[in-house]
Homo-oligomer: A and B are copies of this chain.
């Protein structure tokens, strides 16, 4: 094992601080990655603050990891020293279930999370990407294509794949109307990806202040969802609406906007104490409409998404910070004050 510098929370009520963590000895199938950049996902904050249950000490978040390969094990064929690579929300899975066999490891009940999990290889808690290095089995390491910078690639590994996967699963085609509810880290990626698929993209927001931003990101139209007069002309017209808002809200108003066979896809869940306002069943019957949920994507699809983004010139809008800025970034994240993703530059860790 080796000691590695990281940034983590020693208690749920403590700010993040410099810590040391143990990384496992490089195994025959492993890739050791020197981390150069890591994105900040809202999940990181829930984890570090103990909002998702008991944490390891220290709790080191981060599942939007980009870096350079420093060493590879004897069996590694997919990556070599010096390659630019990435790691997303999973570092392993059971490899035996039907989901794994079909390349949908995101649905494997035995998957190993990049944090908040335990490594099969070592029995150590998994520590995330707010650190100088990580050791990951080669099959869960992604190639970062040349067209993507190391600063802008990290958010693709969570926010990017989480929005790309439903756009592909529900088979979005050129010219179809795709809605995006909420314009945060996920929403802004949904806009860029759907536009890159040549969809007609409509952003739904409750903030007048986001209208100009949404258009700048490429949205064809922006609708203030609280304004019934703006909503009405969109009735029965959407193939897919990607809903990135996890706070409890009215789903009925969006379900009505779906065309025949359309899907409202939820990407986030409200706290268990709250509940969305669900559509009338009649609205669902009269158009064979669906309300669905979607998590991240599988490894194969994540690589496909990275290659798609490089080919199409799609990258997130980011704000680069130093590790010392993490706690401040969390405060701004809680207030929704980020356009649209923080990325930590690990150079000074």
**A285-B295 contact in complex given A263-B290, A290-B290, C-beta closer than 8 Å:** yes
**A295-B291 contact in complex given A260-B99, A269-B281, A275-B278, C-beta closer than 8 Å:** no
Identical copies of this chain, number = 2
A104 and B259 CA atoms in complex are apart in Å by 13
Decide if A289 is an interface residue (CB 8 Å cutoff): yes
Give residues 49-100 of A contacting B (CB, 8 Å). Answer: 98-99
Decide if A110 is an interface residue (CB 8 Å cutoff): no
Decide if A292 is an interface residue (CB 8 Å cutoff): yes
Q: List the B side residues contacting A268 at CB < 8 Å.
A: 281, 285
A270 and B278 CA atoms in complex are apart in Å by 13
A13 and B68 CA atoms in complex are apart in Å by 78
**A286-B295 contact in complex given A104-B260, A260-B99, A260-B104, C-beta closer than 8 Å:** yes
A211 and B246 CA atoms in complex are apart in Å by 41
Q: List the B side residues contacting A282 at CB < 8 Å.
A: 269, 272, 293
A284 and B265 CA atoms in complex are apart in Å by 10
A260 and B269 CA atoms in complex are apart in Å by 18
Q: Please state if A284 and B292 are interface contacts (CB–CB under 8 Å).
A: yes
| Closest beta carbon of chain B to A107's beta carbon, Å | 5
Query: A283: nearest residue on chain B (CB-CB)?
Result: B293
Q: List the B side residues contacting A283 at CB < 8 Å.
A: 293
A305 and B211 CA atoms in complex are apart in Å by 49
A290 and B291 CA atoms in complex are apart in Å by 6
A339 and B286 CA atoms in complex are apart in Å by 28
Give residues 94-116 of A contacting B (CB, 8 Å). Answer: 98-99, 104, 107
Q: List the B side residues contacting A335 at CB < 8 Å.
A: none
Q: Please state if A281 and B286 are interface contacts (CB–CB under 8 Å).
A: no
Q: List the B side residues contacting A290 at CB < 8 Å.
A: 263, 290-292
Decide if A294 is an interface residue (CB 8 Å cutoff): yes
Give residues 272-306 of A contacting B (CB, 8 Å). Answer: 272, 275-276, 278, 280-295
Of the candidates B107, B280, B284, B293, the one whose C-beta lies within 8 Å of that of A281 is: B293
**A285-B269 contact in complex given A290-B290, A291-B290, C-beta closer than 8 Å:** yes
Identify which of A104, A246, A260, A281 gathers the most chain B CB atoms within 10 Å of its CB. Answer: A281
| Closest beta carbon of chain B to A260's beta carbon, Å | 5
Q: Please state if A107 and B260 are interface contacts (CB–CB under 8 Å).
A: yes
